[in-house]
Structure 1
C-alpha cells in the first residue's frame, strides 16, 4: 500500500457525468466519500483555457478524468493544462484516465507527407507531466508503444459479453458475432470466444475515404442473430450498410456493440432508420440528447470498470484482472 492516503479525482469538461459516476462508484467501493477535486476550468474571450485548483494536492495521487472527444483539440488542451497545474502544485503522481483517446485513428502514415498524430499527442502528454495512462479500447493497440510510460488499455468486450448473455440468454445458440472489416477481426473474435459464438466477417472495399464501394459477407449468417462488434461509430454509414448486407444474406436480426459512440453528423438518424434492432454503445463519450432519446440506442456504463481500475492502480494491484468476464460480473451485478 502506498504512503498516499487516498486517490484524488479531478475532471475536465469532456464528460463530467462519467467523472461523477466514477466518483460515486469509488465511494461505494471504499465505503467513504470520494469526490471530485474542486477546481475551475474556464475560457478567456479568445478561447484560451485557464485552470485553477482550489484544493491542496501536494503529495497526492491524482487521476484526471478526461476524454479527448469532440471538440478534440479543446479537450486535449484541457487535459494538458490540468496536468501542468497539478505538476506545478507538487502532485506525487498524475494518471490520465482517458475513456476515449482522440487522434487514435492517426496511428500510422497512410500515404506520403502525412503525420502520425497519435504519436505527437503521446509526446505532448508525457512532456506535460502525465506518468500513467488508463484508457478503453484503443483504436490500435500499438499506440501503447508510443508512450514511454505505463499504459493500461481496458477492454469493453467483457462488458459486452455480460450484456449479450443477458439480452440473448435464451437464444445464444443463434448468435453470430460479426466483424465489420478484416482489421477488426481480433476484437470481434474476443467477444465471440466470451459468449461461445461463431464468427463472421464483412469484407469492405473503399474507393475513397468515407465511402464504401462494396461489401461481402464471409460466413453463413442465414437465420442468425448477428452482433456487429467495433471500437467506434462515427457517421454510422459503414455500420448501417453492413447491417443491410447481413439482412440481405438472411440474418434474422442485426445488433451492434460499439465501444465509442462518436456519432457525428447524420449518425443518429441513420441508426434510427436502419435495419438494426439495437446499437449498444458505452458512455466513454458523453452522449448527446439525440443519442439518449434514440429508440434503438442503448448506453452501457463504464464507471464501474474505471472506478475499480483506478483503485487497483492506486493500491498497486492488477488491472489486467479486469479483462476477465468473471471478475467484472460482480462489479456489474444489478447494472446490466
Structure 2
C-alpha cells in the first residue's frame, strides 16, 4: 500500500482491558481500506485526502505499588513527540479511571502532535441531572476530569464517545476539548438485515430521541416502528404502554443505549408479546449488567424468576426507571414457552451487545446474547477523519 511521504503513521495505545479491541481496530482499518481500494490517488478517506496507516504500540507498563496505587511507566517516552496519538480507554469501574487519567494527562506534555481519546462507554452518563437538591450530577464531574487533558501542538484533544446516554452531555465538557458523539447503531443495521417482519422498538421517549434518526426512511417505513412510554400510576408505580405503532405479527427489536438490571427491557418485551408480537429481540450498546443481572435473559430463567429479580433490584435501579407492569398469562402471545407452575416463560430470540465493556465477552458466551464488536465502527470513524493526512 502506497502511503504519502512523511510522518504517516498514527499510534494507537490502550488500557490492557482494551488491547484485543485495539488490535481488531488495526485489522479492520486495514481490511476496510482494501475493500474500498484505497491506494495511490484513489486512497481517500471521508475527508477526501490520502489515508495514513495506524500502528498499535504497547509502550505503557501498567503496574501497581504494594499499597495498590498505580506504578506507571511509558517506555521511550520521547518517541511520542510529533506523533498523532490515539488512546483507547475503558472507564468500566472507578478503580481503573485514575491510572488511565494519569497516562492521558501525561502524553500531551511530551509534545505529541495530536491526541484523541476513544472512550466507548461514558459510565456516569445516566446521572446527568439533578431532580432533588443534594443529588450529584456525576456526569458533569467526569466530564470535567476528561476536559483537563492538556492542549497539543495541533490544539484541543478529541474525545470520541459511543452512544452517550443524553446528547446534551456534550455541553458538560469544557471548550478545551472537542467531544465527538458517535453511535454503534451501524453494527445493528448489519445484524438485522434479512429479518422478516422487522419492527424497531424504542422502550421510552429518550431512546426514540437518541436513535430514531439512525434508521433511514429509505429502508424503514413508518409502520416498522413502535414507541413506548412510561406512564405513572400513583406515587411510585410506572408502567410501560405503547404510544405509537403496532407490533402484531412482527419480530420486534428493542433498542437502547445501555442496560442495568434489565427491568425496562423485560417489561417492554412482555408488553410487546401481549400485544401480538411474534418474536422479541434486544440491542444495547453498553451491557453494564451489575451483579450478573444478564442472567435474567438466559433460557434458564423463568418469568417468575425474572419478576422476583426485577422487584429486588428496582430500588437500586431507580434512575433507570424500573417499571412494575405485569401481564397476566392468558394475555401472553407469540411463541414463548409455558411452565405449568410458573406460567409463560419470556424468551428473547437474540440480544445483541457490544464489547464497550470488558464483561461483554463473558456475557456473550451465553444465549441469547450475540456480540457485535465496536472495532468495526471505530475503524470507520477513524478512516472518516482521524487517519486522513493533514
User: What's the TM-score bracket when you normalise by the shorter of the two chains?
Assistant: 0.7 to 0.9
Which one of the candidate residues 255, 265, 282 is aligned to 2:281?
Answer: 255
User: Shift of the alpha carbon at 1:43?
Assistant: 2.1
2:227 and 2:292 mapped to 1: Cα distance? 25
2:24 and 2:72 mapped to 1: Cα distance? 22
- Find the residue that maps to 2:128 and give its secondary structure: coil
Gaps of 5+ in 1: 319-336
- Find the residue that maps to 1:293 and give its secondary structure: coil
CA-based RMSD:
2.7
Listed as ranges, the matches of 1:101-140 within 5 Å are 101-129=122-150, 131-140=157-166
**Contact 1:95/1:134 (8 A) holds in 2:** yes
Q: Match of 1:196?
A: 220
1:140 and 1:75 mapped to 2: Cα distance? 24
Which one of the candidate residues 272, 287, 291 is aligned to 1:246?
Answer: 272
TM-score, structure 2 normalization: 0.72
User: Shift of the alpha carbon at 1:200?
Assistant: 1.2
Q: Match of 2:179?
A: 151
Summarize the Cα distance change of 1:311–1:103 in structure 2 as closer, same or farther, 3 Å threshold. same
* Larger CA deviation: 268-277 vs 297-306: 268-277
Q: Higher RCO, 1 or 2 (CA under 8 Å, sep at least 6)?
A: 2
Summarize the Cα distance change of 1:118–1:4 in structure 2 as closer, same or farther, 3 Å threshold. farther
What does the per-residue CA deviation read over 1:268-310, in whole Å, with 9 as the maximum and x for residues that have no partner? 2111134211101111112355412211100111112212323
- Find the residue that maps to 2:16 and give its secondary structure: coil
Q: Match of 1:292?
A: 364
* Larger Rg belongs to: 2
- Find the residue that maps to 1:15 and give its secondary structure: helix
Summarize the Cα distance change of 1:37–1:312 in structure 2 as closer, same or farther, 3 Å threshold. farther
Q: Match of 1:303?
A: 375
Q: Match of 2:153?
A: none
**Contact 2:9/2:54 (8 A) holds in 1:** no
User: Shift of the alpha carbon at 1:151?
Assistant: 1.6
Q: Match of 1:281?
A: 353
Summarize the Cα distance change of 1:300–1:193 in structure 2 as closer, same or farther, 3 Å threshold. same
- Find the residue that maps to 2:291 and give its secondary structure: coil
Q: Match of 2:107?
A: 86
* Larger CA deviation: 267-276 vs 95-104: 267-276
What does the per-residue CA deviation read over 1:38-71, in whole Å, with 9 as the maximum and x for residues that have no partner? 21112223221232111421121111101212x1
2:198 and 2:290 mapped to 1: Cα distance? 29
Which one of the candidate residues 171, 189, 201 is aligned to 1:161?
Answer: 189
* Larger CA deviation: 40-49 vs 199-208: 199-208
What does the per-residue CA deviation read over 1:58-108, in whole Å, with 9 as the maximum and x for residues that have no partner? 121111101212x1x123223211112313322222211011111111222
What does the per-residue CA deviation read over 1:105-157, in whole Å, with 9 as the maximum and x for residues that have no partner? 12221221222222221221121327110111111111112222222211122
2:5 and 2:113 mapped to 1: Cα distance? 11
1:305 and 1:204 mapped to 2: Cα distance? 32
2:54 and 2:159 mapped to 1: Cα distance? 24
- Find the residue that maps to 1:277 and give its secondary structure: coil
